[in-house]
């Protein structure tokens, strides 16, 4: 079975030196364990933080050890009552083609009629993140203007649609025309801003003539800076991510206009959050997301790369914006 190791900690965007694929023997499952065949691997922006040696809310990956993250797998052999051979499960597992894992470290996937990859996208961590950031912190109201950055991505595509369902006018910030078309025509966003084109500030002003009531922050940097002056009185800013800063090189700093004056003037509530903070409410979110999808009110896209070798490329693609919707790697068929 192949595994993907962290060979060297990256300085900036990961490159050929960062990862290595190695063959590894898989041990057969003991009592209480299962043998799993990886079907889908999720690549997520937060993994970049774990490639550095700085302590954060998750432990750094170790050099010479496999990366790990969200995986959907099939049980090949079970030495436990649950799950059983043939079941499709989800877990946070080492990036390997096969894993031997504790049976209680994975859970059976229930994606209804959807492809099981949905357990890593709309019905998984990104869907939950969008739900809690938007509905519990952003709290969009009828008629308000909501702006979402990285709007065509895994989290952004869901966050924007939830705001739309709450009756808001929704503006998405994206990196390409193809993404602008996706979020307006497929997802029903009201307007778009293409930040790689000229005049981000003017584009934003034009797209938000009544100012901004909720800014769902995924990106940070210059995009955030263009938002602060447009925030309305008592607006809310759920801070979900700051992807523009994840690949800063040693010595580079993430500096920009200071935000306090804008927050005071407009009495803005700005709150960072982690999806895990809301673990008590996951059931509520799954219900809304699953119903939304099955009733056709929640649309989602996945960009699926093929083959275990494709994981590094798929991961880097998150930072160059090659994905529409959730970025995934399909490793094997069930
Ligand atoms: P996405 O699917 O949105 O992929 C990342 C996207 O970000 C890219 O497609 C790209 O789109 C955009 N992007 C990348 N670099 C830049 C840049 N320098 N400036 C502007 N846009 C950029 O990823 P996710 O949906 O998984 O994650 C979105 C954000 O949410 C991330 O910041 C992530 O860290 C955060 N997150 C936070 C969680 C939490 O618990 N707080 C949980 C999950 C995610 P484009 O073409 O538009 O540039």
Over the chain, what is the mean pLDDT? 97
Q: Under CATH, which number does the domain 2-121+300-330 receive?
A: 3.90.180.10
Tens digits of residue pLDDT in 248-257: 999 999 999 9
Please tell me the CATH superfamily of domain 125-278+286-292, with its number. NAD(P)-binding Rossmann-like Domain (3.40.50.720)
pLDDT at 244: 98
Ligand 1 center from residue 150 Cα (angstroms): 5
Q: Which residue from 331, 334, 326 is spatially nearest to 311, judged by alpha carbons?
A: 331
The protein residue with its alpha carbon nearest to ligand 1, atom 35, reads 241
pLDDT at 55: 85
- Asked which of 79-93, 101-115, 233-247 is least confident by mean pLDDT, the reply is 101-115
Q: Which residue from 70, 71, 182, 87 is spatially nearest to 129, judged by alpha carbons?
A: 70
Query: Is the per-residue pLDDT at 111 higher than 80?
Result: no
For residue 83, cis peptide bond before it (omega within 30 degrees of 0): yes
Return the beta strands (E) in 52-97 as ranges: 68-78, 88-94
Question: What residue ranges do the domains of the chain occupy?
Answer: 2-121+300-330, 125-278+286-292
Query: Is the per-residue pLDDT at 112 higher than 90?
Result: no
pLDDT at 110: 85
Give the pLDDT band of residue 238 (cuts 50, 70, 90). Answer: very high
Ligand 1, pocket-test mutation among 138, 152, 153, 303, most atoms within 8 A of CB: 153
> What tokens were used for 327?
């970025």
241-249: average pLDDT: 97
Q: Which residue from 141, 148, 158 is spatially nearest to 224, judged by alpha carbons?
A: 148
Is 2-121+300-330's fold the same as 125-278+286-292's? Answer: no
Q: Taking the chain, what is the end-to-end CA distance rounded to the nearest angstrom?
A: 16
Q: To which H or E segment does residue 284 belong?
A: helix 282-294
Tens digits of residue pLDDT in 279-296: 999 999 999 999 999 999
Is residue 331 within 8 A of residue 39, CB to CB? The reply is yes
Ligand 1 pocket: which residues have CB below 6 Å?
44-46, 125-126, 129, 150, 152-156, 174-176, 179, 218-219, 223, 240-241, 243-244, 273-275, 318-319, 321, 323, 327
49: CB partners within 8 A, 6+ apart: 56, 58, 246
pLDDT at 113: 85
Tens digits of residue pLDDT in 48-63: 999 999 888 899 999 9
Ligand 1, pocket-test mutation among 150, 189, 240, 325, most atoms within 8 A of CB: 150
306-332: average pLDDT: 98
Ligand 1 center from residue 61 Cα (angstroms): 20
Ligand 1 center from residue 121 Cα (angstroms): 13
Residue 132 DSSP SS3: helix
State percent of the chain over pLDDT 90. Answer: 97
Ligand 1 center from residue 186 Cα (angstroms): 19
Is residue 236 within 8 A of residue 139, CB to CB? The reply is yes
Tens digits of residue pLDDT in 121-171: 999 999 999 999 999 999 999 999 999 999 999 999 999 999 999 999 999
């Amino acid at each position: 079975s192949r595994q993907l190791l962290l060979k060297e900690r990256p300085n900036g965007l990961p490159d050929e030196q960062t990862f290595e694929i190695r063959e590894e023997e898989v041990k057969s499952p003991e009592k209480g364990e299962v043998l799993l065949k990886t079907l889908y691997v999720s690549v997520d922006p937060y993994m970049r933080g774990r490639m550095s040696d700085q302590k954060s809310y998750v432990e750094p990956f170790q050099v010479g050890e496999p990366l790990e993250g969200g995986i959907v797998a099939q049980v090949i052999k079970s030495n436990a009552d649950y799950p059983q051979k043939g079941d499709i499960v989800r877990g946070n597992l080492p990036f390997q083609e096969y894993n031997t894992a504790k049976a209680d470290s994975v859970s059976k996937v229930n994606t209804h009629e959807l492809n099981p990859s949905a357990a890593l996208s709309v019905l998984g961590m990104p869907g939950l993140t969008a739900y809690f950031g938007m509905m519990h912190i952003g709290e969009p109201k009828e008629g308000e203007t909501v702006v979402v950055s990285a709007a065509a991505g895994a989290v952004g595509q869901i966050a924007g649609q939830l705001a739309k369902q709450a009756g808001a006018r929704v503006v998405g910030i994206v990196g390409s025309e193809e993404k602008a078309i996706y979020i307006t025509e497929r997802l029903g966003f009201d307007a778009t801003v293409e930040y790689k084109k000229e005049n981000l500030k003017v584009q934003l002003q034009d797209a938000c003539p009544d100012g901004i009531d909720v800014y769902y922050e995924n990106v940070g940097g210059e995009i955030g800076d263009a938002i602060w002056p447009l925030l309305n009185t008592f607006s809310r800013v759920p801070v979900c991510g700051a992807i523009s800063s994840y690949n800063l090189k040693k010595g580079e700093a993430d500096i920009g206009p200071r935000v306090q004056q804008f927050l005071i003037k407009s009495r803005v509530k700005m709150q960072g959050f982690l999806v895990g903070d809301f673990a008590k409410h996951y059931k509520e979110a799954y219900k809304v997301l699953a119903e939304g999808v099955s009733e056709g009110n929640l649309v989602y896209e996945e960009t699926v790369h093929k083959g275990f070798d494709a994981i590094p490329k798929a991961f880097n693609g998150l930072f160059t914006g090659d994905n529409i919707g959730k970025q995934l790697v399909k490793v094997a068929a069930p």
